Amino acid sequence: MKIYFLGTGTSQGIPVIGSNHSVCLSTDDKDKRLRVSVWIEADDTSILIDCGPDFRQQMLTSKCAIIDALLFTHEHADHTAGLDDIRPYYFKQGDISVFAHQRVLFNLAKRFDYIFENENKYPGAPSVIAKEVVNNESFKVKNLEVIPINAMHGSLQVFGYRIRDFVYLTDVKTIEQAEIEKIKGCKVLVINCLREEYHSTHFNLEEALHFISLVQPNKTYFTHISHVFGFHEEIQAKLPDNVFVAYDNLTINI
């Protein structure tokens, strides 16, 4: 299975608009981070997790041709604002399957009513098949089993997802032991790590490293990174041997 990091930045992306911060001015491509999203290809199945405001650019760069399912972690704009741009996929494939918590589906149906509406649709508006994700209930995308992982982003519930030996979790601040058990034994873990300083709704470096010590995956990749965390190379130098800073367009095979 192939994992393609479409975006690895926190909500504003890097560079931040109008910022003169040294990381925002960096010429290293690894310091340019679009909003978080990942593309998973396994056998003949293509899954995307989240669909933020950079979705169009990410799809052009990655050349992702088919979306069998779009999985959402939560409703925040940096994870959902690009939904309108599924249109080219809808024109080619028909209705796109969208998996999310019931609360997130309601939120999206309110914000993108023309996409979710079934009657009197505007010609050319995309359509989705909304599928509710329920904790402790795995689901299938074609033949691929997906296990939801429940976590908290401050006071907001978020879902992460396990697919075979790959686990993707973002915007996590706290997670219960029963959920950690679902992650154990994975080969590759992706986890949010915002910066070194404390944050009320995201793991900082200390919390992310502690979480890794509980899960003990073979390899971990950090995502949802803020410019204040530092330059890519600078962050990488601070990490243990099996922990890596993800960057946009990084591809790994599991």
Distance CA 14, CA 12 (A): 7
Each residue 50-79 as x (binds Zn ion by CB under 5 A) or -, in order, gives ----------------------------x-
Nearest to Zn ion of 14, 42 (CB atom):
14
Interacting residues with Zn ion between 171 and 200 (CB under 5 A): 171
Rounded to an integer, what distance in angstroms lies between the CA atom of residue 217 and that of residue 23?
A: 29
Shortest Å distance, C-beta 194 to Zn ion: 9
- Please say which residue, 72 or 244, places its beta carbon nearer to Zn ion: 72
Alpha carbon dihedral 6, 216, 159, 141, in 10-degree steps, equals 70
The residue range among 15-23, 122-130, 131-139, 169-177 that interacts with Zn ion, by the rule CB under 5 A, is 169-177
Backbone angles phi, psi at 201, to 5 degrees: -125, 0
**CA-CA-CA-CA torsion for 76, 56, 143, 43, nearest 10 degrees?**
-130
**Which positions from 78 through 117 interact with Zn ion, judged by CB under 5 A?**
78
Residue 31 touching Zn ion (CB under 5 A): no
Q: At closest approach, how far in Å is the CB of 36 from Zn ion?
A: 6
124: left (phi over 0), alpha (psi -120 to 50) or beta: left
Nearer to Zn ion, 7 or 126 (CB): 7
Q: Report the residue number, 144 or 246, with the smaller CB distance to Zn ion.
A: 246
Listed ranges 26-34, 126-134, 165-173, 211-219: which one lies at the site for Zn ion (CB under 5 A) = 165-173
Give CA–CA dist 30/23, Å, rounded: 10
Q: Which is nearer to Zn ion, 144 or 194 (CB)?
A: 194
CA angle 135, 154, 75 (to 5 degrees): 60
Query: Least separation, in Å, of the C-beta of 85 and Zn ion?
Result: 18
Q: Are 168 and 135 in contact (CB under 8 A)?
A: no
Instruction: Enumerate binding residues for Zn ion (CB under 5 A).
Output: 78, 171
